[in-house]
Amino acid sequence: MSEKIYNIAVIPGDGIGPEVTSSAVSVLKAVSEKFGFKLNFSEYKAGGCAIDEFGIPLPEATLEGCKASDAVLLGAVGGPKWDKVDASLRPEKALLGLRAGLGLYSNLRPALLFEELSSASPLKNVSNIDILIVRELTGGIYFGEHGRYMSEDVLSDGSSKGTVAFDTESYSEAEIERIVREGFRYAAGREKKLTLVDKANVLESSRLWREVAEKIAPEYPEVSLDYLYVDNCSMQLINRPETFDVIVTSNMFGDILSDEAGMITGSIGMLPSASLGAPGTPGMYEPVHGSAPDIAGTGKANPMATILSAAMLLRWSLDETKAADCIEAAVKQVLKDGYRTADISSSHDDKTINTESMTLKILESI
């Protein structure tokens, strides 16, 4: 059988981005050798470093290279050096450009509590947290109509209302259907529980989400579907996090809840993510954290969020499940052996090591 070959676009970005992507690339190379497939890596610039070199955060060559790849691995973009550049040229615009250009409409954020790190969780006596948040990424209030106008109305005391600002939450049936279907699909491959989070007691758009979910549910009879209002969900994530399996929700609710769920599992340095589009198109994989300019170049960056993002890349874009399992098991083993980067070190028994040594420990475990 001929060797499988995949093309991976790598965008190291700024700050700790190059450090953590270099760790993840070495881990990807190790598993590709172990499991007998070939990865071709092509590096591209985006974010602050692209502004410095090309004057724009997302050069055409970067987007084209990503479109032509099988999957994209991204570090992080941004930093204080570019905080004062024109808003239309901010490094973060590169992320929006990549999401739009690659048609990435679904954002997967696993919140997994590693048993070995349970003391890093702000919750007491928790274990077995394994939640997958599926967030709609290209619709809703962030992309709806925005604007301001001068109101001619008055408040009850007769004073002028002044300027009014508005942002519109709007979703089409088709947009909801494709993301809810993803939610069912992931739940079917996991613990078979899907929770749709919305605000259907108030919002018409949420009521449409429920109608669409009801329509799709019979296609997945093995998956149990329930609903939670977003305010209740934010409480239940603290109260009973271990009872959730897959959560599917809109862009803004997912933005907020995925940060909350991430926090209860410990450090931001452990959280991977994936952004996916239509089947067969390249997905983008990146750690949840930013470019951490405060620790860039010090060797303190935890590479595990990016290494776990690389495992997601193998699982969801390349279907190399065994290689993905192997990386996740290696991370778990290294934690079990007591190795920690500074951000997750909590006891005197921990062996605190730097980015490079942590990468080597994971490579040894592979």
215 catalytic, yes or no?
A: no
- Distance from chain centroid for Cα 306: 10
Residue nearer to ligand NAD on the CB measure, 180 or 307? 307
Q: Hunting for tokens 């271990």 — which residue is that?
A: 242
Rule CB under 6 A: is residue 76 a binding residue for ligand NAD?
yes
What residue number has its CB nearest to ligand NAD?
290
From the CB of 116, what's the least distance to ligand NAD, in Å?
Answer: 17
Largest CA distance in the chain: 80
Fill in the per-residue mask, 322 to 361: x = in contact with ligand NAD (CB under 6 A), - = not in contact. ---------------------x------------------
**Smallest gap from residue 305 Cβ to ligand NAD (A):** 6
167 binds ligand NAD (CB under 6 A): no
Q: Does 106 bind ligand NAD (CB under 6 A)?
A: no
Matching residue, tokens 């329509």:
215
Q: Write down how long the chain is.
A: 366
- Helix, strand, or coil here: 305? helix
CA distance 280 to 317: 8
Q: How many CA atoms lie within 13 A of 337 on its CB side?
A: 15
Euclidean distance between the first and the last CA atom of the chain, given in angstroms as a whole number: 24
The 286-325 contact track toward ligand NAD, x by CB under 6 A, reads x--xxxxxxx-----xx--x--------------------
The answer to whether residue 130 is catalytic is: no
Asked if 332 is an active-site residue, the reply is no
Nearer to ligand NAD, 248 or 308 (CB): 308
Interface with ligand NAD by CB under 6 A: which range of 70-78, 173-181, 234-242, 327-335?
70-78
For ligand NAD, which is the closer residue by CB, 205 or 262? 262
Q: 231 catalytic, yes or no?
A: yes
Catalytic residue among 142, 220, 227, 229: 142
Kindly state the tokens that stand for 245. Answer: 């399996």
**47 Cβ contact partners less than 8 Å away, ≥ 6 residues apart:** 11, 13, 14, 17, 57, 76, 77, 78, 82, 91, 92, 94, 291
- Residue count, binding to ligand NAD (CB under 6 A): 22
**Which is nearer to ligand NAD, 199 or 289 (by Cβ)?**
289
Cβ neighbors of 316 (< 8 A, separation 6 or more) are 108, 274, 276, 283
Active-site pick, 29, 67, 259, 325: 259
Cβ closest to ligand NAD, residue 121 vs residue 205:
121
Residue 171 is a catalytic residue: no
Tokens (6 digits) for 243 = 């009872």
How many CB atoms lie under 10 A from the CB of residue 29?
A: 14
Of 269, 272, 282, 283, the one binding ligand NAD by CB under 6 A: 269
Given 52, 226, 231, 294, which residue is catalytic?
Answer: 231
Long-range contacts of 61-68 (CB under 8 A, 24+ apart): 62/9, 62/11, 62/94, 62/98, 63/97, 63/98, 63/101, 63/102, 65/9, 66/9, 66/11, 66/98, 66/101, 66/102, 66/282, 66/284, 67/101, 67/102, 67/282, 68/7, 68/9
**92 near ligand NAD, rule: CB under 6 A:** yes
Q: What stretch of H or E contains 87?
A: none
Site string for ligand NAD, 173-212 (x = CB under 6 A): ----------------------------------------
Residues near ligand NAD, by CB under 6 A: 16, 20, 76-79, 92, 95, 268-269, 286, 289-295, 301-302, 305, 343
Active site residues: 142, 199, 231, 255, 259
